[in-house]
Amino acid sequence: QKEIDVPIIIIGSGYGGAVSALRLCEAGKKVIMLEMGLNWGKSNLPYSNLLKPGQSSAWLKTKSIAPFLNIFSLKPFTGVLDRLDFEHINIWIGRGVGGGSLVNGGMAVTPKESYFKEIFPDLDAQKFYSFYFPLARKELKVNVIDEQFLQDCPFYKFTRVGEGEAHKAGFKTMRVPNVYDFDYMEKEYKNEVPRSAFNTEVIYGNNHGKNSLDKTYLKKALDTGNLEILDLHSVDTIKLNDDKTYTLNVQQIDTAGKTVADKVFHCKKLILAAGTMGTLKLLLHSNAVNNFPINESIGKNWGNNGNFMTGRNWVKPLSGGTGAKQSTIPVGGVDNWDDPDHPFFAEIAPLPMGMDVATALYLQINRVDKKGSVSYSNNQLTIDWDESNTKKMRENADYFIKKMNKANGGTRAHLLFNNGFGANICYHPLGGCVLGEATNAFGKLKNHDNLFVLDGSLIPGTIGVNPFVTITAITEYCMDNLMKQNEFA
C-alpha cells in the first residue's frame, strides 16, 4: 500500500473546505482536497430535475429521496443528494465537489445582528458585519431578484401569493438574496438560454444558473494551480501520530460505491470540513477505532437550526392557486423573528409539480430552545433528539398555519406530511464541534496542534436563518486569524 505524503489535506469540499482551500492556495500553499462525492463538472454528467430523477439524483440509493413524492426506482450511483436517517430526524446532505452548494436552494441570508451576537457573544460582530459577511457575499456572488421581474413572471406566482397571504394574515415578509444568477434567470424566462430554475432543477443539482462553490471559491482556488481535488475519495479514519502529524485511511470508490483502492495519506496539517455530520462521524469513529483524542464538547450543542417543514393545501379559493409553473429558487420569506411569543422565519418554498397543486410549502427556521447531542456506538452515529426538541417549533408552525388559514382559507398540509408537520426534515444540521468550546477561538481542535475544524459544526445548533453565508463568513474569519498566527507555515 502506497503512502501519500502531503503538507496540507482538507477533507470535504463544501463551504468550509472551499473557503480554506482558497485562502491557503492564494498564500502559495499546496493543498490536497479529499471529497467522497463526484466531481460533477469534470464528469459531464447532467443533473436531474425534480420531475424525472435519474441515477445522478441520489447517493447510492435504490429510490429517489426528495422529502416527498418519491416513486422512482434507481440503480445505485454516487448521486448528488444523500439522506441520513436517524430515529426522529432525517438529514439531507449534498455529495460532490461543492458539497451542499450543489443541492441547496441558494438562499444567501445574513443572520440578524442581534441573534448573531446572542449565539456568538465572543465574536466581534462589528467586524463580521462590516467585513466578513460582505466578503462572503461578494465571493459567493450573492444577488437579488429584480422586483419588476418578480411581479411579472408567472414562475413567481407562488411567491406573490405567499407574500400577499402573509400580509393579509398580519405577517411581515422579506426579500431573500440568492446565489442563483438572476440575470441568467431573466434570460431563461425569455428562452435565450437553457432553463434550470424554470425547469424544476434544484435539489438534485442545477445544470445552469446557480453559482455553486465549483464556480466561485473552488474555481478561484484551482486557478492558483495549488489545489488538487481528489473526488470519490472517502476518508474512513484519522490517526494522530507521535510526531503530531496525521495518517488517513481513505477508500477510493467507483460510481457504484465499490472500493477500487485503499489508500493511506499522511499530512502535517489537517482541515476537517466534512460538514456537520461528516466531521462528527470522522472524529467520533476515529476515536472509537484508534483512540483518536477528542474532548468532552465534541457532539454537544447540536441542533437542526430550527428546521420545521409545514404547508397548506387548498390555497386556491381566494388566491387562485400557487401556479402550475414555479421557479425552484425561493426569493421570499415571512419574517416573524421579533415576535417574542412565536419567533420564526419561514421560507416561501416552491413546489414545482408541473401543475397547480394549490399547495403552499414553508420551511420554517426557529430558535432551538433544547439542543441535541451526537454520539457514536455500534459503529454508527446516534443523535439524542426527539419530539421534546421540536415542541416549540411545532407550536410556532401551528400558530403560523392557523393564522394563515384564518385569513386566507386552506387547510393544514395533510397531503404532504403526517398531521401537516414535517418535524423530522432537516436541511441545516449545525454544531457538535462548537467554536470556542470544542476548538480554540479560530477552529483549532482542542488537544491537537495541527487539526482544524472549519464547517457547519462550529455553529452551536442554530443561527436563525439559512446557514451557508454564516459558515462562509466564519471560515473566512478563522482562516484570516489562523494565517496571521502562521498555523500553516
Could you say whether residue 180 binds ligand FAD (CB under 6 A)? no
Which is catalytic among the residues 428, 437, 448, 476? 428
Is 234 one of the binding residues for ligand FAD (CB under 6 A)? Answer: yes
Work out whether 203 is an interface residue with ligand FAD (CB under 6 A). yes
Q: How far apart are CA 290 and CA 286, in angstroms?
A: 6
Gyration radius (Cα) of the chain, Å: 22
Selecting among 35, 188, 201, 347, the annotated active-site residue is 347
Coil vs helix vs strand at 401: helix
Instruction: Respond yes or no: is residue 167 known to be catalytic.
Output: no
347 has catalytic annotation: yes
Q: Identify the CA nearest to 467 among candidates 126, 11, 14, 122.
A: 14
Measured from the CB of residue 101, what is the shortest distance to ligand FAD in angstroms?
Answer: 6
Q: Assess 143 for contact with ligand FAD (CB under 6 A).
A: no
Question: Binding to ligand FAD (CB under 6 A): which residues in 102-141?
Answer: 103-107
Residue 172 φ then ψ, to 5°: -90, 145
From 110-118, 187-195, 215-223, 271-279, span contacting ligand FAD (CB under 6 A)? 271-279
Region near ligand FAD per CB under 6 A, out of 88-96, 192-200, 371-379, 409-417: 88-96
Angstrom CA distances, 290 to 101, 272, 453, stand at 32, 17, 19
Nearest 5°: the CA angle 274, 211, 347 is 80
Instruction: Please tell me whether residue 99 binds ligand FAD under the rule CB under 6 A.
Output: yes
Of the ranges 45-53, 337-345, 462-470, 477-485, which one interacts with ligand FAD (CB under 6 A)? 462-470
Q: Which stretch binds ligand FAD (CB under 6 A): 92-100, 139-147, 218-226, 439-447?
A: 92-100
Nearest to ligand FAD of 56, 405 (CB atom) = 56
d(CA 258, CA 262): 11
- The full DSSP string for 166-179 is HHHTT--EEE--BS
| Closer Cβ to ligand FAD, 25 or 282, answer by number | 282
Q: Which residue matches cell numbers 379559493?
A: 317
3-class secondary-structure state, position 366: strand
CB atoms within 10 A of CB 47: 24
Distance CA 220, CA 256 (A): 30
Q: Is 422 in the site for ligand FAD (CB under 6 A)?
A: no
Please identify every residue annotated as catalytic: 347, 428
Binding site for ligand FAD (CB under 6 A): 11-16, 34-37, 92-95, 99-100, 103-107, 203, 234-235, 273-276, 278, 282, 427-428, 455-456, 466-468, 471
